[in-house]
Amino acid sequence: MDDLVQVTDRGLFVPAANVYIDPWQPVERAVITHAHSDHARAGHRLYLAHPVTGALLQTRLGSSISLQTLPYGKKLRLGSVQVSFHPAGHVPGSAQVRLEFRGRVCVVSGDYKRHSDGLSAPFEPVRCHMFLTESTFGLPVFRWEPAETLGQRLCLWVTEQLAQGRHVCLTGYSLGKAQRLIRILNEAWIVPFVHPAIEIINQTLKRCGIRPGNYSALSEYKKSLGPAVILLPPAAVDRLPAGISGPFVRAACSGWMAVRGMKRRQNLDKGFALSDHADWPGLLKTMEESEAERVWVTHGFAEPLARYMQERGRQAEALRTAWTETPEEAA
C-alpha cells in the first residue's frame, strides 16, 4: 500500500522502523494502541505502549513482558522514523500512533471516539498525509445520543428495576465501558457490584492514578443487600454469577444497541447505545480534520466507508486486518 506502512500476514508493518502496530501474530517489536484484546495480543518479544496501556498489558499478559512506555506527545526515534502517541479517547491509555518519515506523516488511529468520557484523555486530531482509521460503526445508521441523556435514561431504568425487586445485569467491556458505567451509576448514587475481570482492571487503573468510581467486588454481595446492580463482561450474559439468585433483567451497553435487532438477538431486556467508538458523523469529521491526502479504512464497515469517501473525491481504500470486535464484546 505504501513504503511507510504495509499490511502483512502478521499485522501492520512499518519497515523503516522495523515495528508492527497492534500485530495479530507474534513479532519482535510491537507498538500497541490500546489494551483491548484484539489489539494487544500475547507473544511479542517487545512492547511499546502508553504508560497506562503498559500497566494494563502487564495485568493482562503478565508482568514478565518486555515493555517500553512512551507518554502522549513525546517523540521516540525508531530506525529512521519518529514515533509519537496522541490521545484517541477510546479507553484509558488509548493512543493514535503518529509516524513521521522523510517529511511525510502517517497516523494510525487505533480505536477512537470523539466524545469525552471523563476517564480517557480526550481525542486530539492530528494532521497527517496518510490516515488509517477504524470503522467499527461506519454506517450512517449509527449516530450517538448525547451521553448525558443516555446516562439519565439508564439510571432511571435501573432504579425502576431495582424498585421492582429485580437484579440488574449490565454488560460492557471490562476496560473502558465498565468504568464509564460505574461513574454513570454513581451519579444516581448507585454502587454496582463488579465481576472479578473488571475488578482487576480497576485495580490497575487506580495504580495509574485513574479513579474508576465507587463499586464493590462481587464477592462482597450478600443476600441481605437485596437486588443488586451487577457489571459483567459481555461473555457471561445469559446467567447470573454464582452466589446470586432471584429475578433479574439484563441490559447491554454498546453501540450495537442502537439497532433493535441486536437487542432482540441477544434476548436482552434492554439495550443502551453507549459506545467507545466514533459514530458516523464522528468518523467523517475525523477524516476531515486529519487533512490526509490518503485514507485507509480498517476493521468494521471498511468497504462502505471507503467507497463513500471515494465518491466524495477522497483517495480512500479499505484495508483487511484482523482487528475485529464481535458485537457482543464491542465497546
Partner 1 sequence: MKQFAELCEALDSTTSTGERLSLLTAYFREASPVDARCALALFSGWRPPRLLKSTELRALAAELSGIPLWLVEESYHFVGDLGETLALLMADEATPSPSSGAPEDSLHGLLLHMNSLRQASHEEIRSFVLRQWKSLDTTGRLIFNKLIAGSFRLGVASRLAITAFAQAFGLSEETVAHRVAGDWNPLADDPFSAGESEPDLALKPFPFCLAYSVENTLASLGTPSDFLLEYKWDGIRCQIVRREGRMALWSRGGESLDKAFPELVQAASFLPSDTILDGEILLVRQGRVMPFTELQKRIGRKDPSPTLLKKYPVMFLAFDLLMHKGEDIRSQPLRHRRALLENLIVPDGDLLRLNEGFNVRSWEEAAQLRQAAPDRGAEGIMIKHLDSPYVSGRKRHIWWKWKVDPYTVDAVLLYAQAGHGRRAGLYTDFTFALWHEGRLVPFAKAYSGLTDEEMAEVNRFIRHNTLEKFGPVRSVKPQLVFELAFESLQRSNRHKSGVAVRFPRILRWRRDKQPHEADSLQTLLNLLAKVHPE
What residues are paired with 29 via a beta bridge?
46
Our finding on whether 9 is near partner 1 (CB under 8 A) is no
Our finding on whether 322 is near partner 1 (CB under 8 A) is no
Cα-Cα-Cα-Cα torsion 303, 308, 313, 316, nearest 10 degrees, comes to -20
Our finding on whether 36 is near Zn ion (CB under 5 A) is yes
Q: According to CB under 8 A, which residues from 136 to 165 bind partner 1?
A: 139-141, 143
**46 binds, options Zn ion, partner 1, none, Cβ within 5 to 8 A by partner type:** none
**304 binds, options Zn ion, partner 1, none, Cβ within 5 to 8 A by partner type:** partner 1
Q: Do 57 and 49 form a contact (C-beta atoms < 8 A)?
A: yes
| Pick 29 or 167: Cβ nearer partner 1 | 167
Q: Do 130 and 159 form a contact (C-beta atoms < 8 A)?
A: no
The angle subtended at Cα 30 by Cα 28 and Cα 33, nearest 5°, is 175
Our finding on whether 22 is near Zn ion (CB under 5 A) is no
What the block records as the C-alpha cell of 247 is 429475578
Number of chain residues interacting with partner 1 (CB under 8 A): 27
Our finding on whether 178 is near partner 1 (CB under 8 A) is no
177-187 vs 147-163: helix crossing angle, rounded to 10:
70
What residues are paired with 194 via a beta bridge?
217, 231
Per-position x/- string for 247-286, each x denoting binding to partner 1 as judged by CB under 8 A, each - no binding: ---x-------xxxxx-xx-x-xx----------------
**111 binds, options Zn ion, partner 1, none, Cβ within 5 to 8 A by partner type:** Zn ion
Q: According to CB under 5 A, which residues from 103 to 132 bind Zn ion?
A: 111
Residue 98: C-alpha distances to residues 70, 86, 87 (Å):
12, 7, 11
Shortest Å, Cβ 7 to partner 1: 22
**250 binds, options partner 1, Zn ion, none, Cβ within 5 to 8 A by partner type:** partner 1
Q: How many residues does the chain have?
A: 331
Shortest Å, Cβ 3 to partner 1: 32
Shortest Å, Cβ 256 to partner 1: 9
**36 binds, options Zn ion, partner 1, none, Cβ within 5 to 8 A by partner type:** Zn ion
**224 binds, options Zn ion, partner 1, none, Cβ within 5 to 8 A by partner type:** none
What the block records as the C-alpha cell of 70 is 512512551
Residue 9, judged by CB atoms within 10 A of its CB (0-12, 13-18, 19+), counts as exposed
Which residues fall within 8 angstroms of residue 299, CB to CB, at 6 or more apart? 134, 135, 136, 321, 323, 324, 325
51-61 vs 196-207: helix crossing angle, rounded to 10:
140
Our finding on whether 326 is near partner 1 (CB under 8 A) is yes
Shortest Å, Cβ 93 to partner 1: 28
Please report, as ranges, the residues that interact with Zn ion according to CB under 5 A. Answer: 36, 111
Give me the residues that bind partner 1 (CB under 8 A), please. Answer: 139-141, 143, 238-240, 242, 245, 250, 258-262, 264-265, 267, 269-270, 301, 304, 307-308, 311, 326-327
